[in-house]
Amino acid sequence: MSPETQSALYRYLLTIGDDELVLGSRDAEWTGIAPIIEEDVAFSSLAQDEIGHARLFYGLAAELVDGDVDFIAYLRHKNEYYHARLLESRFTVFYDPEGNHEGSVEWAKAIVRRFLYDIFDELRLELLVSSTYEPLANAVQKIQREEKYHRWHGETWWKMLATTSKTTRTYLEKALDSLWPDILAMFEEAPGEDMLLAEGIIAQRTSDLQDAWFERIYPYFKEGNVPFPGGKVGLYWDFWVKPCFGGRQGEHGEGWDELYDEMTSVRKLAPEGAW
């Protein structure tokens, strides 16, 4: 593998690992405050899975550069994380000074984020199974069973929100309206993907996954009669919302500043220490 290809692969692995770590960290915040006790358990399990998957991809990245997994996870500069912006926002109950909150909408946002990201991740992993970089192909095979459960969980909650009542349907639509620019930004490419494609390390660029993703998610919108801001033009999908790109280049919002400081705080107490 050439140095240029190795560098591109390292960056690509960070992108996947960062997606998983950041989503897992945000999902973990629902432990103890989810709307039903079963979801306290479920979201904790989902979060644990995602952080475990992050460690797997960080391990592959570390092997490429003879690096350290924990350094990669917790000691990079905050602008050296390349997750999709969708994954970094806090979606838990927030009380204003008068004691009001929109907890149900925040829960709907967490469900929408998980479900639509999981379908994106499902597509990404399906293609990586055939990677010419054998360690990556093998790693993906290990986690696909867990990802199927993630998909089932999100699908179940999506249908509940879409069909249970007008109120739950309103929560779902409000969540979608606020998230579409960040949802579509999942398909932003990492630098060097053309090189990885030419080497067979990836089968498609991240941006190339978008049409297949639309094909998978659209039936859920149609079945529940949920508004969908796009349509198919010939063989391709056209969307009427502008993506909020930047995450894959290390450009993030205020939600990331907060999460980064929190999730790296313990490690930074003694960065050279043996834990």
- The CATH number of the domain holding residue 250 is 1.20.1260.10
Is 164 contained in some domain? Answer: yes
pLDDT value of position 96: 56
Least-confidence region, from 29-38, 48-57, 89-98: 89-98
DSSP helix/strand/coil, 77:
coil
Domain count for the chain:
1
CA dist 232 → 48, 116, 224, 235, 265 (Å): 37, 18, 18, 7, 46
pLDDT value of position 235: 74
pLDDT digits (tens, 9 = 90+) for 110-165: 999 999 999 999 999 999 999 999 999 999 999 998 989 999 999 999 999 999 99
pLDDT higher than threshold 60 for residue 102: no
Higher-scoring residue by pLDDT: 93, 146? 146
Query: Which one, of 274, 255, 206, lies nearest residue 78 by Cα?
Result: 255
pLDDT digits (tens, 9 = 90+) for 251-263: 999 899 999 999 9
Full-model pTM: 0.93
Eight-class DSSP state of 38: H
Q: What is the mean pLDDT of the chain?
A: 92
Is 274 contained in some domain? Answer: no
Is 275 contained in some domain? Answer: no
Return d(Cα 122, Cα 113) in angstroms, integer: 14
Is 26 contained in some domain? Answer: yes
Is 30 contained in some domain? Answer: yes
- Containing structural domain, residue 235: 3-269
- What are the beta bridge partners of residue 233? 236
Query: Residue 268 contacts by C-beta under 8 Å, 6 or more apart in sequence?
Result: 74, 75
Least-confidence region, from 51-65, 98-112, 250-264: 98-112
Is 103 contained in some domain? Answer: yes
Is 208 contained in some domain? Answer: yes
Is 219 contained in some domain? Answer: yes
